[in-house]
Amino acid sequence: MQEISLSEIAALRPRIYGYMGYVGTASDIQTDNMITECIRELERTAQFNYIYKYSEELPPFLEKEPYRSYLEGSRGVIICAMTLGIAVDRIINRLLRISPSKGAVMNACAGAYLEYLCDTYEERFGSDRGARFCPGYGGSRTEDLKYIFEILDTHKIGIVLNENYFMLPSKSMAGIIAIGGNARAGCGSCIMAGSCAYLKEGAKCFTQGKK
Amino acid sequence: MLHTGKKIIVFDGGFGSMLEELGLGGIPEELNITAPDKVRLIHRAYSCADVITTNTFGLNPIKYKGSYGLGELAKAACENARAAGKPVFFDVGPTGAMMEPMGELSFEDAYNAYKEVAEASRDIADGYILETFSDLYEIKAAILAFKENTELPIFATMTFDSSERTLTGSSPEIVANTLEGLGVNALGVNCSLGPKELMGVVGRLLGSTCLPVIVQPNRGLPTLENGKTVYKLTAEEFYESIREMVEMGVSAVGGCCGTTPELIKKISVFSGRDVSRPAVQPGTIVNSANCLCDISSVSICGERINPTGKKTLKQALSEENYGYIIDEALKQQEAGADILDVNCGLPSIDERAVMTRAVKSIQEYCDLPLQLDSTDPRALEAAARIYNGIPLINSVNGDEEVMAKIFPIAKKYGAVVLGLAMDKNGIPKTAGQRLEIAERIIKRAGDFGIPKHKIMIDTLVVTASAEQELAAQTLKALELVKGLGVKTALGISNISFGLPCRRLLNRTFLAMALERGLNMPIINPLDDDMTGTVRAFEVLSCYDRGAEKFIDQYKSVQMSPNIGRKNEGADLSLYDCIRQGLKTKAAGLCAEELKSREPMEIVEGTLIKALDEVGTLYEQGILFLPQLIASAEACRAAFSCITEALPKNSEIKGKVVLATVHGDVHDIGKNIVKVVIESYGWQVTDLGKDVSPQRIVDEVREHKPFAVGLSALMTTTVPAMEKTIAELKRADLRTEIFVGGAVLNEETARRIGADHYTKDALGMAKKLEELFRKQKA
């Protein structure tokens, strides 16, 4: 995995602090250093894999709200799933035993790192794409994950959905991306726009925030 | 007749894309019955291949949930494949479920699923192709099922991603060592990527096994065109890559996703050609699923999970406290061990059951390969079976009876065996006699089909205080045994038993033995003197090229004039150490303070006050979660000193039972809660994740805790939480019920009958304090 720059890590920090329960302007040198350490370890151990299908015909589960509103005006949809791999789960579990404080930071970093890699990967879908939307967001049902798993050969990237709709490895996501029309990746098209804790503080989940 | 490994064999190609082309949807395996003509059409199109694989990729009782019987589908699939007039290999894919410990499928359930497949197909197929597996543990279960229930040849392939690892993180070397050890007939890679992208994996497999290597790549990397997956690699390009692989020494070729009869016809020209590949020098290698140890220079075997002379470990084993054993494993890994010895031999316990559970627990957290150490063949067999990788077995000796029991186990599971240079007459006095026993062990192993590189010899250390002159014989035997071409091991610390300043003798003897050719010292890796001696030896013997490992490990060590580490933070108080999260220092200072203060005075006057300050700063957003946890860890370390100072069985506060509810496999939040509330002096029984309501009720009944903490991450598992609370109340167990987790709030907590909801670990700790004080008042 290509090393990400220090400025990119700095840009990831608000999201990482967010996963630890802080919003916007949180920062602490000791934790910042641990974040860099954790990201470097993730670069060595994560196995990022992404699988997707593009369709201009909507599968039936996307014909209801809130998907219908999200996809309104788009010409097609990417149905996708991605993961950091099971090795990351093992590292988090191990750290929570030998150094719980680092384990908590690693857990938050892994979530943010997955988002970062997805955002980077999805650049190939063009600039007229919407923000990634996953079942569970904005009033949608987690149970809808099963439809995504029926459509994609998720076993090819090693993700399993259990009967309670948990994805394994735990640092995995599955969702949809609107293509074309008014769709744009960013705060405007984000389903969380109305209730985003970052925006309320004048920050964004993917930038350094107010500083 | 297939000449596996001597002549090149060509397998058929992709099936799914062909079905799609014929417009056939639904469950592919059922087409064997519902559309046999179409299925046969595809098989016939591949008759240019030497081997036809059945249309049964998803046919196992875990994955296949259709209306037909497994047996009838297997039969129809084989009959269809026979239409091509070629030998038929039964195609076996993964179950689609995630294996334990990360997932929910147990090794035993996976084995039983594949056993059913074996029984349904063994009389109608000519061999098996296990393909597209991405989990080493799952393919091990499958291989054992087919080896134990059929006599047909087994070809086994796994998928690798662009990082050249399987999706569960195993390297090609680990895959090769494990599959070869388990006795498959050929091993390799399928699916994954295109042939060009797989060259690296293929080269690494060929360099790691003497077995025939099989390759079945996809037709390049797919692209998306008009919503359809398209493979653009031409037949000519596919052929060129396969030709290169054949030149590298591959023994069997075929195709996977996107490949068609056209491509297979093109590569069928290689059929029957002589296989030509460079010889592979096999090593003495053990591995877990993610870590391989080639015992070629010096590898440290950690000795701490062995109850001999260890009171706390004995207690942990008899109480089946696997948390303690996991922590011992992780400490040794952190300290630089390469392999871990696991010995659960206590007269009072069911060694077989405890050894099995200990190995399962360790491999959940620790990557290091394991040395399974027992005198009980039943315990060794059970542990080797569920071990995810190739273990080292400790041990056999020159006694025929012992060898006859242990070698078949080692052979079956591909283990490396440690042979002790002794027999039923005891440890011989001279080096020459020990050499004779070593020769006997190696020869007898050969009779069981175990090659020399799978044998290590321990020339046995006798305590110097009893028979001083034998130390020299041990070292001389070491040199002689090296001449037999096997690797060597020694349990070093026996040398100093009964003498003062044992560490000095241990490290000196270790240096002497390393110089004479010792490959695997069995030592306490937490002893810096011992690991330091190994690291220094590696530099001075040029094993550690450029002293990279040594510099990395010791660059930050400050040496004082008295060769001791600086005592950092010497001026800090216990309060400061908790506040700053300095674990080791906090434990030391607490032990000091206990000499002049009452334990409860330290708890109330220092520890809780420091934690309260940290908690306040955390709530104000001045300190962050990692610092809160670090302070909790420091406080926990101090509490362990306090607990030791208190009379046995006395509790500081009380017990708390924690569990993530049934169906929920995420337990990170619950683990943080554990650390934080332990730091406040509560004794926590952690039941782990996915815990049934009944088990929680049983444990609460047994432990009579002050409180129970239940965790759930998602809405789908809240009903399980509600059920657990209902059962606890029905059983009339008086305890404070706490709930927490991402999907809960005050309202939901009240609705499902919980007594308390807290939003985070600190909230629970504070609420517990409040309830505790109220109860005391």
Cβ distance of B167 and A22 shorter than 8 Å: no
Q: Which residue ranges in chain B fall short of pLDDT 70?
A: 1-3, 226-227, 558-570, 647-651
Cβ distance of B629 and A101 shorter than 8 Å: yes
Give the C-alpha separation, A172 to A49, whole Å: 9
Question: Taking the domains of chain B in order of start, what are their residue ranges?
Answer: 9-270, 285-549, 574-645, 655-776
* Measured CA angle at B751 (ends B749, B757), to 5 deg: 15
Measure A188 CA to nearest chain B CA, in Å.
Answer: 26
Band (pLDDT 50/70/90 cuts) for residue A201 is: low
Contacts of B715 in chain A (CB under 8 A): 142
Residue A187 placed within a domain: yes
Give the C-alpha separation, B115 to B62, whole Å: 12
* Cβ(A104)–Cβ(B672) below 8 Å: yes
Phi and psi at residue A167, in whole multiples of 5°?
A: -95, 140
Measure A178 CA to nearest chain B CA, in Å.
Answer: 14
Cβ distance of B716 and A165 shorter than 8 Å: yes
> Which residues face B51 on adjacent strands?
B11
Q: Do domains B9-270 and B574-645 have the same CATH topology?
A: no
* B213-230 pLDDT per residue, tens: 999 999 988 777 766 778
Give the C-alpha separation, B217 to B192, whole Å: 7
Band (pLDDT 50/70/90 cuts) for residue A211 is: very low
Q: Which residue of B has its CA nearest to A170?
A: B666
Residue with tokens 């004039």: B561
Q: Which residue of A has its CA nearest to B165?
A: A47
- Whether the pTM exceeds 0.90: the reply is no
Structural domain for A96, as ranges = 6-200
Q: Count of domains in chain A?
A: 1
Taking alpha carbons only, the member of B762, B502, B743 closest to residue B615 is B762
**Using CB atoms within 10 A of its CB, is residue B561 exposed (0-12), middle (13-18) or buried (19+)?**
exposed
* CATH class of the domain comprising B285-549: alpha beta
Give the C-alpha separation, B235 to B487, whole Å: 48
**ipTM score of the complex?**
0.84
The CATH H-level (homologous superfamily) assignment of domain B655-776 is Cobalamin-binding domain (3.40.50.280)
Give the C-alpha separation, A176 to A76, whole Å: 10
> Which residues face A68 on adjacent strands?
none
Contacts of A168 in chain B (CB under 8 A): 98, 102-103, 665
B contact test, residue of A94, A109, A151 with most B CBs within 10 A = A94
Assess A210–B contact: CB distance below 8 Å, yes or no. no
Residue A208 placed within a domain: no
Q: Extract the tokens encoding B531.
A: 């690991």
Cβ distance of A31 and B624 shorter than 8 Å: yes
* Measured CA angle at B733 (ends B731, B734), to 5 deg: 150
B89, B91, B292, B486, B732 from B177: Cα distances, Å: 24, 23, 9, 18, 55
Residue A195 placed within a domain: yes
Measure A9 CA to nearest chain B CA, in Å.
Answer: 18
* Cβ(B262)–Cβ(B49) below 8 Å: no
* Cβ(B510)–Cβ(B484) below 8 Å: no
| pLDDT at A200 > cutoff 70 | no
Cβ distance of A30 and B367 shorter than 8 Å: no
Buried b (16+ CB within 10 A) or exposed e, B388-423: bbbbbbbbbbbbeebbebbbebbbbbbbbbbbbbbb
> Which residues face B191 on adjacent strands?
B217
* Cβ(B395)–Cβ(B421) below 8 Å: no
* Cβ(B418)–Cβ(B393) below 8 Å: yes
Contacts of A89 in chain B (CB under 8 A): 102
R_g of chain A, CA atoms, integer Å: 17
Query: How far does Cα B257 stand from its chain's mean position?
Result: 30
Contacts of B227 in chain A (CB under 8 A): 53-57, 76
pLDDT of residue B464: 92
Assess A30–B contact: CB distance below 8 Å, yes or no. yes
Residue A93 placed within a domain: yes
Q: Extract the tokens encoding A123.
A: 């650049």
Q: Extract the tokens encoding B9.
A: 């064999």
Residue A37 placed within a domain: yes
Contacts of B134 in chain A (CB under 8 A): 155, 158
Q: Which residue of A has its CA nearest to B98?
A: A160
Measure A103 CA to nearest chain B CA, in Å.
Answer: 8
Measure A166 CA to nearest chain B CA, in Å.
Answer: 8
A contact test, residue of B668, B678, B692, B715 with most A CBs within 10 A = B668
Q: Which residue has the higher pLDDT, B13 or A164?
A: B13
Residue with tokens 């096999």: B282
Band (pLDDT 50/70/90 cuts) for residue A187 is: low
C-beta neighbour count of B592 within 10 angstroms? 12
Cβ distance of B665 and A166 shorter than 8 Å: yes
Residue with tokens 């909230």: B763
Cβ distance of B621 and A20 shorter than 8 Å: no
Give the C-alpha separation, B338 to B6, whole Å: 37
A contact test, residue of B171, B290, B624 with most A CBs within 10 A = B624
Cβ distance of A30 and B626 shorter than 8 Å: yes
Give the C-alpha separation, B334 to B526, whole Å: 9
Assess A180–B contact: CB distance below 8 Å, yes or no. no
Query: What SS3 class is residue B619?
Result: helix
Average of per-residue pLDDT across A44-52: 94
* Cβ(A164)–Cβ(B103) below 8 Å: no
Give the C-alpha separation, B389 to B370, whole Å: 9
* Cβ(B522)–Cβ(B303) below 8 Å: yes
Taking alpha carbons only, the member of B438, B412, B476 closest to residue B182 is B412
Measure A31 CA to nearest chain B CA, in Å.
Answer: 7
**Using CB atoms within 10 A of its CB, is residue A6 exposed (0-12), middle (13-18) or buried (19+)?**
exposed
Give the C-alpha separation, A169 to B135, whole Å: 12
Band (pLDDT 50/70/90 cuts) for residue A26 is: low
pLDDT of residue A203: 58
Name residues 63-92 of chain A within 8 A of B (Cβ). 76, 85-87, 89-90, 92
Query: How far does Cα B671 stand from its chain's mean position?
Result: 21
CATH number for the domain including A168? 3.40.109.40
Nearest to A56 among B227, B628, B632 (CB): B227
C-beta neighbour count of B587 within 10 angstroms? 19
Measure B671 CA to nearest chain A CA, in Å.
Answer: 7
Measure A2 CA to nearest chain B CA, in Å.
Answer: 11
A contact test, residue of B105, B166, B167 with most A CBs within 10 A = B167
Cβ distance of A156 and B290 shorter than 8 Å: no
The residues, any chain, with a CB within 8 Å of residue B281's CB and separated by 6 or more, are none
Q: Which residue of A has its CA nearest to B100?
A: A168
The pLDDT mean for chain A works out to: 85
Contacts of A57 in chain B (CB under 8 A): 227
Give the C-alpha separation, B115 to B315, whole Å: 38
* The length of chain B, given as a count of residues: 777
DSSP for B510-542, please give it. HHHHHHTT--EEEE-TT-HHHHHHHHHHHHHTT
Helices (H), B292-389: 311-318, 322-335, 351-365, 377-386
Phi and psi at residue A171, in whole multiples of 5°?
A: -90, 70
pLDDT of residue B230: 81
**What's the CATH number of domain B574-645, 1.10.357.10, 3.90.960.10, 1.10.1240.10, 3.40.190.10?**
1.10.1240.10
Give the C-alpha separation, A135 to A144, whole Å: 6
Preceding omega of A66 cis (within 30 degrees of 0): yes
Contacts of B106 in chain A (CB under 8 A): none
The CATH H-level (homologous superfamily) assignment of domain B9-270 is Homocysteine-binding-like domain (3.20.20.330)
Contacts of B630 in chain A (CB under 8 A): 101
Taking alpha carbons only, the member of B286, B332, B59 closest to residue B178 is B286
Both ends of chain A: CA-CA distance in Å? 29
pLDDT of residue B664: 80
Taking alpha carbons only, the member of B177, B102, B173 closest to residue B135 is B102
> Which residues face B754 on adjacent strands?
none
The residues, any chain, with a CB within 8 Å of residue B732's CB and separated by 6 or more, are none
Assess A158–B contact: CB distance below 8 Å, yes or no. yes
Nearest to B625 among A20, A47, A93 (CB): A20
The residues, any chain, with a CB within 8 Å of residue B434's CB and separated by 6 or more, are B421, B422, B427, B428, B459, B460, B473, B477, B480, B481
Give the C-alpha separation, B184 to A136, whole Å: 44
Cβ distance of A101 and B626 shorter than 8 Å: yes
Assess A124–B contact: CB distance below 8 Å, yes or no. no
Q: Which residue has the higher pLDDT, B593 or A200?
A: B593
pLDDT of residue A194: 67
